[in-house]
Structure 1
């Protein structure tokens, strides 16, 4: 059913996911917005430049970006919306180049920024004269509202109107993507939006990326899975929920229905790391093959400061039981949390030794001060005395304080642990970049250990090759 409420002035809409790395599956966000706007008669086309360019912009090929501009212009859009992602990964830089060139070619095109980075850095984005609107949060309702009004008469930031009943949203539309060009026949899906947790280092809630926790009914999720299987020939799914088991009962009902419908699928997700063995068995039977678990520390004191509501004994049991039932796990830790002592880091390492043989991978990341987090809003509470921030960056790279590991030291410790406990083909996230790019990433960090950090990076790059694809290939065997 199409409800024709469109404003003919803005009929043709192009939504694109930015270049920057190789997409393994179509983007969920713009696919969801496309299907919603189609209900109201809009002509919407989605482009995944991450797939089309295969991550080549990491090599600095400006010609590729000009091809992106030409493709968008050829569609003669009235409105162009883009997903804004982290500038340090070059997503934002490449995206801003594209939309700036679009404005040069046609000043009549309206440019809209959305996605995670728009929520964190909306104030900085709207200052750019080639961006007309920034949407902080979910895009469906807010974008429709401004397409059907005179909302584009002034440049502005829009705080999202949340979709209260997710069951009323149409299924995401992936028709614009050639699934045969993706390395894996996989689609993203969600069972919920929002997060029930309130971790002190996370800025998701205060920055408006998610509203309150809302979930789809098991019936709706099953219908969506069935649609994707029948329409796209898909049997692999990535659940993009913040936590797949935020509501354990709903999760189990969904899994029981997957089993009851005899869907022969495989899937992965991030989960709260307290899961019973019986639930893990049901999840495995329903196709779960991989879980991301994030205890973040092996020190109870640090966990308390993080406001992580977890019990390390239960986390250990979950990891052991997942291995026993046949579910691989990736376990993540933060190194250098404010006021974390060397003894706390030793406790994390001791915990890692307990779980190591049950894990598919163990990942250590240096603490990053995130805008909008409780630490950012109350720095002195966590011992941070000062910091320097960039308007366009989500994370703050320079900070000092009492009992604080400065960023480069946190990186150094994380890399040491990674080199010691790396057990797969996974590589520390920013090791994907070349040495020059990593140098740029940390060049502003004042540290006597910078050379040591770069040596660790070089050594790790020589030893391992970062590839999500290698992980997914093994997960979905």
Structure 2
């Protein structure tokens, strides 16, 4: 096989095929490179992993690349499944063994955790979107000099983030796509906003930049349906509803498909308030989940980070949405512990509103503020990261290369404890459903929206049901991968 790409399932999710590695595989295949995606191999025991790697990685392989974003070196259980990432370290050991066996092959680590020490045996690291880099890694790595920097003996390649000329992602039969599984799809790339804590690539881009042409998006929906029966989607866009023009463009496509889709995405609540004319259309078009990054109900803190909608407006819009969407759209809201001006006292005041019975969001999540050390390499850094002291944070290294912070009111450890405790308190009072993305994932494992929505975090019967369908999918995936091994090896895919 010319190109072998590894990716994995988040230990905090249920089961979902993320799009990044398949986007790169699609580009490679269109360039004439036979390509195999090995997805979720950490679910398989080492003897199976070895058998699969022996088939696809050999002396003629031109590139081995691994997405580190959801890869971990130890088991991490999400509370909904004890099946995630069982054999991550074993897989990494096998990849390292192959690297030593075939030193002429470029082994490239990409994704959000590329600089983690557990991936230090990779000589090449790709940062940012890989569209423009992936085929060159396989065919002419020396041509990537303009993207390369050498840091501590490793080659770091920084992407310019442009889309490949062909925006589409096409799946191959060897990708072992299951009937009507939940797929991830890009409508656009990047975000026109720049929240102070966010370091995603393409933050602050212009409106209507990096949007997929409508004809290509429509073709992807139709091809996925005709080939695999796919009707369930998670939209990968950082801000799906960034303006009314984009909503009109998207709805104009999905409302005219010869089949119905069901989808979940990231929404910005202040924009949705101005887009009330679309609320019913979104519901009728198949919207089943909406995630809102509200972050805080402290108005001063919200203004500082770039989300100045205000507490009263936020609550009114959430209640109004509940009137229109009811339980037909699973809503989720994310909050951050430790933001500027959110003292412990202020946090508890507004957190009481979220904890209260009847708060009009189905799933409430809390996370501690995360700030990375300012980087001399990456061009994508949050404003908090670029000048943490300006915002009242002192960073210090604690362990495993991870940076933690302290402020006059909090430190990272305290914020993490409070975040976890707050979620537990909400669940104990019966005010918590699974989040919109997890419900959409469960729909791709054979559950109806109604059944997936009815499952409760921490409930024994719900966890057993989730483990049942996840185990079934893992087994089905493995059976199909093993069946592929029985086929004669092919030079091109």
How would you bin the TM-score normalised by the shorter chain?
A: 0.7 to 0.9
TM-score, normalising length from structure 2? 0.72
Report the Cα offset of residue 234 of structure 1. Answer: 0.8
Q: What is the DSSP-based 3-state SS (H/G/I as helix, E as strand, rest coil) of the residue aligned with 1:14? A: strand
CA deviation string 1:119-177 (max 9, x = no partner): xx38x688x3x4232111111211223333252999621111332476x3232325333
2:41 is the counterpart of 1:45: no
Q: Name the structure with the higher helix share.
A: 1
Looking at structure 2, the residues matched to 87 and 210 of structure 1 have their Cα atoms a distance apart, in angstroms, of 28
Measured at CA, do residues 44 and 286 of structure 1 come closer, stay the same or move farther in structure 2, by a change above 3 Å? same
Match of 2:432 in 1: 424
Tell me whether 346-355 or 21-30 shows the greater mean CA deviation: 346-355
Looking at structure 2, the residues matched to 133 and 211 of structure 1 have their Cα atoms a distance apart, in angstroms, of 28
Measured at CA, do residues 426 and 250 of structure 1 come closer, stay the same or move farther in structure 2, by a change above 3 Å? closer
Match of 1:443 in 2: none
Looking at structure 1, the residues matched to 216 and 70 of structure 2 have their Cα atoms a distance apart, in angstroms, of 32
2:48 is the counterpart of 1:67: yes
2:250 is the counterpart of 1:254: yes
2:293 is the counterpart of 1:291: no
2:138 is the counterpart of 1:147: yes
Report the Cα offset of residue 187 of structure 1. Answer: 1.0
Looking at structure 2, the residues matched to 131 and 86 of structure 1 have their Cα atoms a distance apart, in angstroms, of 17
Measured at CA, do residues 87 and 176 of structure 1 come closer, stay the same or move farther in structure 2, by a change above 3 Å? closer
Looking at structure 1, the residues matched to 164 and 62 of structure 2 have their Cα atoms a distance apart, in angstroms, of 30
TM-score, normalising length from structure 1? 0.75
Tell me whether 293-302 or 411-420 shows the greater mean CA deviation: 411-420
Report the Cα offset of residue 224 of structure 1. Answer: 1.5
Q: What is the DSSP-based 3-state SS (H/G/I as helix, E as strand, rest coil) of the residue aligned with 2:133? A: helix
Looking at structure 1, the residues matched to 110 and 364 of structure 2 have their Cα atoms a distance apart, in angstroms, of 32
Report the Cα offset of residue 339 of structure 1. Answer: 4.3
Looking at structure 2, the residues matched to 94 and 297 of structure 1 have their Cα atoms a distance apart, in angstroms, of 40
Unpaired runs of 5+ residues, structure 2, are: 75-84, 374-380, 438-456, 471-493
Looking at structure 1, the residues matched to 169 and 359 of structure 2 have their Cα atoms a distance apart, in angstroms, of 40
Measured at CA, do residues 131 and 467 of structure 1 come closer, stay the same or move farther in structure 2, by a change above 3 Å? farther
Match of 1:383 in 2: 392
Looking at structure 2, the residues matched to 467 and 161 of structure 1 have their Cα atoms a distance apart, in angstroms, of 45
Match of 2:332 in 1: 330
CA contact (8 A) 1:298 1:347 kept: no
Looking at structure 2, the residues matched to 147 and 425 of structure 1 have their Cα atoms a distance apart, in angstroms, of 45
Measured at CA, do residues 466 and 132 of structure 1 come closer, stay the same or move farther in structure 2, by a change above 3 Å? farther
CA deviation string 1:45-103 (max 9, x = no partner): 11112xx544x7xxxxxxx2453244123213331111012676747856643421222
CA contact (8 A) 2:333 2:364 kept: yes
**2:348 pairs with one of 346, 369, 372:** 346
Matches within 5 A, 1:299-314: 299-314=298-313
Measured at CA, do residues 347 and 384 of structure 1 come closer, stay the same or move farther in structure 2, by a change above 3 Å? same
Measured at CA, do residues 421 and 366 of structure 1 come closer, stay the same or move farther in structure 2, by a change above 3 Å? same
Looking at structure 1, the residues matched to 462 and 34 of structure 2 have their Cα atoms a distance apart, in angstroms, of 41
**1:266 pairs with one of 262, 266, 271:** 262
Matches within 5 A, 1:39-438: 39-49=30-40, 52-54=41-43, 64-65=45-46, 67-75=48-56, 76=58, 77-85=61-69, 90=74, 96-118=92-114, 121=115, 128=120, 130-151=121-142, 156-164=155-163, 168-180=166-178, 185-205=181-201, 213-274=209-270, 275=272, 276-323=275-322, 324-325=324-325, 326-352=328-354, 356-371=358-373, 372-388=381-397, 393=402, 396=403, 398-401=404-407, 403-422=408-427, 423-426=431-434
Measured at CA, do residues 313 and 209 of structure 1 come closer, stay the same or move farther in structure 2, by a change above 3 Å? closer
Looking at structure 2, the residues matched to 469 and 317 of structure 1 have their Cα atoms a distance apart, in angstroms, of 34
Report the Cα offset of residue 233 of structure 1. Answer: 0.8
Looking at structure 2, the residues matched to 89 and 315 of structure 1 have their Cα atoms a distance apart, in angstroms, of 40
Aligned-CA RMSD value: 3.5
User: Which runs of 4 or more aligned residues in structure 1 lie more than 6 Å from their structure 2 counterparts after TM superposition?
Assistant: 208-212, 460-468
Q: What is the DSSP-based 3-state SS (H/G/I as helix, E as strand, rest coil) of the residue aligned with 2:240? A: coil
The higher-RCO structure (CA 8 Å, 6+ apart) is 2
Looking at structure 2, the residues matched to 464 and 405 of structure 1 have their Cα atoms a distance apart, in angstroms, of 37
Looking at structure 2, the residues matched to 88 and 232 of structure 1 have their Cα atoms a distance apart, in angstroms, of 30
Looking at structure 2, the residues matched to 65 and 313 of structure 1 have their Cα atoms a distance apart, in angstroms, of 54
CA contact (8 A) 1:290 1:328 kept: yes
Report the Cα offset of residue 313 of structure 1. Answer: 3.8
CA contact (8 A) 1:137 1:209 kept: no
Looking at structure 1, the residues matched to 464 and 318 of structure 2 have their Cα atoms a distance apart, in angstroms, of 23
Looking at structure 2, the residues matched to 328 and 19 of structure 1 have their Cα atoms a distance apart, in angstroms, of 22
Q: What is the DSSP-based 3-state SS (H/G/I as helix, E as strand, rest coil) of the residue aligned with 1:268? A: strand
Tell me whether 209-218 or 227-236 shows the greater mean CA deviation: 209-218
Measured at CA, do residues 408 and 125 of structure 1 come closer, stay the same or move farther in structure 2, by a change above 3 Å? closer
2:8 is the counterpart of 1:18: yes
Report the Cα offset of residue 424 of structure 1. Answer: 2.9
Measured at CA, do residues 281 and 425 of structure 1 come closer, stay the same or move farther in structure 2, by a change above 3 Å? closer
Report the Cα offset of residue 378 of structure 1. Answer: 0.9
Looking at structure 1, the residues matched to 372 and 424 of structure 2 have their Cα atoms a distance apart, in angstroms, of 25
CA contact (8 A) 1:202 1:370 kept: no
